[in-house]
Structure formats: structure tokens, C-alpha cells
Structure 1
Amino acid sequence: MFTPRVAMASLSGESDAEWAIGGSEYAGAAFLGGIALDERTRTAARKLVSRDRTEFLPDDPIDFVDEQLAMLSDAPIRPGINVRSTTLSPVRTVAEVCRNHDAILEINAHCRQEEMCSTGAGQSLLRNPDRLCEQVRVAAETGATVGVKARTEVFGTDLPELSRRIVDAGADVLHVDAMDSEHVIGDIAAATDCFLIANNGVRDEVTVTEYLEYGADAVSIGRPSDRPEVLSRVRSATAEWFTEVVA
């Protein structure tokens, strides 16, 4: 999927092509975004901005994605785009753009902001598996590499079982924010054969090793993704782990 087995996780309104290039010495993938694609999620994003959160709100989100991915065409890193939508048409269109750039289309089932969840996007999708799987299926039908960003500890969600459904719908990648339930990474790894990225608190050899021992295929870094010293430690730890595993 990508090497080194380190990803930079999207930070809403902050993770763009320039940010990805800045970490390309250390990471194998960078998820840009999140990008609100349709009117309901864009309205929610505007509400978030009104209370001082950062959001990408370009005039045309599809053109923005295309431009950002084009900027990474020669960068030594695989890009992904984290997106939020309540409707299928823009998911299909942005998946086609991602396919053309060999980028990963990542459906956001992770955002927990009330403004976004009330639209039916973000982590609310974890409580509506049919709608989430439908978005995955529509994106996968384009031939794009499709992923889902999810989080553990969402009440009423059996994430390992949901992960099986997501993979059956066509997802190639699961990007899981483990929060304080790191053991769930092991449950998901046992339940599916997809490429599994573990996120939350990844900073050093200890945290990297914990996730990889649970069966993750890669780890991702969120807030410290603009800190070379953290990226360097995580890259070294993952490289050492996979060298030892291969050996």
C-alpha cells in the first residue's frame, strides 16, 4: 500500500499538499483534508469555522482535490483524501479523481463534531452501517483505492463486525483511531484482511510497537505530523519492526 509504513493523518483545515511534502522524508502516505463535499457538510463546516475551528472550504471541493493531488504527483509519498458527504454523487466523483492520481479515497466516519454528525456524516456513519457501506461501494466501483477512517468507543458500534462489512463493500484500507481501546486494533486485524492503519498517541518506539504487535500494518501520526523529530522516531521504529518481522 505504501512504504515506509507511516502515514500522516488528516487535520481538518490544515492538511494540504504543502504539509504532505513537508513530511515526505519520513512518511509513506499522507491523508489530506478533511474535505466537505456536498452542501450539507459544507454548511456544517461553515458552522465549525464560525466557532474558530479550521476547515477547507474551497469554492469547488472537487477541483481543490484535483489541484492538491496534482501538486503531489512528483512527491515521494502516496496521497489520500479524507472526505465527508451525505450524498453519493460527489463521493463517486472524488473517487474518480483519486483513481486518476493513484490516491486513496478515505471516507470520514471519524469526525465527532456535532455540526457534522447531525448531517449524517462523520462518526454518525458508524451507527448507520448501510449508509457507510453504500458510500464505500460507490467509491470502490470507480476502481479507486478506498479507505475508511473510524474511531473506537462509539456507543453501540461493534467495530470489528462493522469492519468486516466495510471490507466486503470494497474498502482496501481501515484507518482506526484507537482512542483508549488499543486492543480493538487486534480484534479488527483478526476480523479482516484489509490494510490496517492504527492511530492515536503514536509518538515513539513504545507506541509503534504496541500497535504493530496487535496486528496493524502501519501507524499514523496526527497532531505531531509537522514535527520532524516525532516523524523520524516513528519511521525508525516501524522500519526496525518490519525488518525484524521479515528476517
Structure 2
Amino acid sequence: MEFIEVLAPMAGITDGTFCRDISTLGFDMVTLGGYNADQSTLNAGQEILARGRPEFDLKPGDLLPYLEEQSFLLKCQDLWDGMVSVNLRALTTDPIIEVSRLKNVDVVEINAHCRQPEITQLGCGQALMENPSHLEKFTREVVKKAKSKVSVKIRANVPDVDEIKTVSAIDHAGADYLHLDAMKPGFNSADYDMVKLIRQETSMFIIGNNSIRDIGSARKMLAAGADGISIARAAIGGTLSFDLSQI
């Protein structure tokens, strides 16, 4: 499998313009989002906005035309021919499948990662990891009906969550990518041991994420078993302090 470098989703930041401007730094895939894709998650997003978090503020009917416009901003340029991914939070599969049918969307990413309480109390985001059988069914439905590739983003070291069961569920469902936030609470670095453990349990394409801020941390993620890396905070200013081509 080919190594890829991914611009990770950053709520309220990675829209089409931001992704377009940073894509030429060497990213093979850029991720729009994350977005709340149905009424329940949109309502939760309003609650999150009310306490000062910069989440996307879109009405249900606005999402598809908005994403059509944002993905076109990336695909219409001649300087970059990478993939466009969209990270989505939803209680049902339908809105995710709808997004997969947009012309310029190459990957839809199921958000099993968000830890905002307004989202998790719905059984969405990170809460999906607490029910592997439901996550498997949910992912399989998206894989079956999507017109694009499918990724699932999860977080490591969530209390009372068995990462191996979670990964197994996603693998059995047929996802194309496992986007792993190898978070290690209390540490300023990724949990490379967790990446190694998950690598032993699946042949899925693993996109390793967390604390990749320089060449060294990127290489450590790959050495631990990731097939690719994703970068978020290091790119938040619209540039990078290191050269992706040197990884």
C-alpha cells in the first residue's frame, strides 16, 4: 500500500479555502470538517457554540451544497491532484452516504472520535467506540452504499473502551482506512505502543495521528506501524515548519 500524508480535520478551520492553500505543501489527502450532518448533531453543535467552541454552524439543508462548493475549490485547481475527505458526525448513515455521492469527494470519514459531551451523549462521536457491534453495523452500511472510499477516525486510550474490539469491528465492516488518534493522556507525544498493538491486529491502512509536529515524530509514527500520517495542529497556522517530502 502507498504511504499517504493527510491534513487532519480541525473543526471550524479546515474548510475548502484553508485546505486549498495548504494542500500544495505535500499532502496526499485533505480533510474537510468535521461536520455535524443531521438534526440531532446540529442541535448539539448549537449547544457547543453557545459555550464558545468554534464548531461549524450549518443548517441540515445547507450541508450538501456547502460541501459541493468546498470540495470544488480543491478539485478545480491545477496545482494539486490529491484526495478530498470529509469527516462527519451523524446518528444515522444516510447523511454520510449522501456526502459520498458528491462528485469531488473521494473519502467519507465516520467520526467515532469527537469527545464533546453534547455529541457523545447522543451515542455519536467517541461514544460509537463503546458499542463495537453497532459501530461495525454502522460502518458496514456506509461501506455498502457509499460511492467513495470510507475511513473511520477513532481515539486511543478512551476509558472502558477496548481498542482491539473497536478496530476489529471496523476491519470486519470493510473500511478502507483506520484514522487513529494515538492519544496518550498526560503525555506530549503519541502512544506508539498502541499503534504497534493495533498494527498487529489488522491489515487495514492505518493513518497515524497525534503530536506529529516534526520529521522525527512523523518517522516514529511510521516506524510504529502506521501506513500514513495525518497532521493537525502543526498545520493550524496555514504552513508547516518541516518538509513533508523529507519524511
TM-score (normalizing by structure 2): 0.88
Q: Which moved more, 1:86-95 or 1:117-126?
A: 86-95
- Runs (5+) with no aligned partner, structure 2: 185-190
Partner of 2:187: none
Report how far residue 206 of structure 1 moved. Answer: 1.5
Structure 1: which 4+ aligned runs deviate by more than 6 Å?
none
Partner of 2:231: 221
Give me the whole-angstrom Cα distance separating, in 2, the residues matched to 1:122 and 1:163.
Answer: 15
Change in Cα spacing, 1:48 to 1:89, as seen in structure 2 (3 Å) is: same
Partner of 2:8: 9
1:94 counterpart (95, 99, 102): 99
1:73 counterpart (54, 61, 75): 75
Q: State the one-letter code of the partner of 2:195.
A: I
Number of equivalenced pairs: 233
Partner of 2:222: 212
Partner of 1:236: 245
Partner of 1:188: 198
Across the aligned residues of Structure 1 and Structure 2, the Cα RMSD in angstroms comes to 1.7
Q: State the one-letter code of the partner of 1:148.
A: V
- Runs (5+) with no aligned partner, structure 1: 239-247
Question: Would you say 1:132 and 2:132 are equivalent positions?
Answer: no
For the residue of structure 2 that corresponds to 1:82, the secondary structure is: strand
Partner of 2:167: 163
Partner of 1:47: 47
Partner of 1:20: 19
Q: Which moved more, 1:145-154 or 1:22-31?
A: 22-31
Give me the whole-angstrom Cα distance separating, in 2, the residues matched to 1:217 and 1:151.
Answer: 17
Deviations 1:102-161 (A, max 9, x none): 511000011111111111111000001222222211221124200011110112222133
Query: Which structure shows the higher helix fraction?
Result: 1
Q: Which moved more, 1:25-34 or 1:69-78?
A: 69-78
Q: Do 1:160 and 1:184's aligned partners in 2 also have CA atoms closer than 8 Å? A: no
Q: Do 1:117 and 1:124's aligned partners in 2 also have CA atoms closer than 8 Å? A: yes
Percent of aligned positions that are identical? 31
Q: Do 1:105 and 1:144's aligned partners in 2 also have CA atoms closer than 8 Å? A: yes
Give me the whole-angstrom Cα distance separating, in 2, the residues matched to 1:63 and 1:129.
Answer: 32
Deviations 1:20-47 (A, max 9, x none): 1121122111111011011110001111
Partner of 2:112: 109
Partner of 1:244: none
Q: State the one-letter code of the partner of 1:173.
A: Y
Q: Do 1:69 and 1:79's aligned partners in 2 also have CA atoms closer than 8 Å? A: yes
Report how far residue 2 of structure 1 moved. Answer: 7.0
Question: Would you say 1:179 and 2:183 are equivalent positions?
Answer: yes
Give me the whole-angstrom Cα distance separating, in 1, the residues matched to 2:33 and 2:94.
Answer: 19
Q: Do 1:209 and 1:237's aligned partners in 2 also have CA atoms closer than 8 Å? A: no
Q: State the one-letter code of the partner of 2:33.
A: G
For the residue of structure 2 that corresponds to 1:201, the secondary structure is: coil
Q: Which moved more, 1:202-211 or 1:73-82?
A: 73-82
Report how far residue 74 of structure 1 moved. Answer: 3.1
Report how far residue 61 of structure 1 moved. Answer: 1.4
TM-score (normalizing by structure 1): 0.88
Partner of 1:122: 125
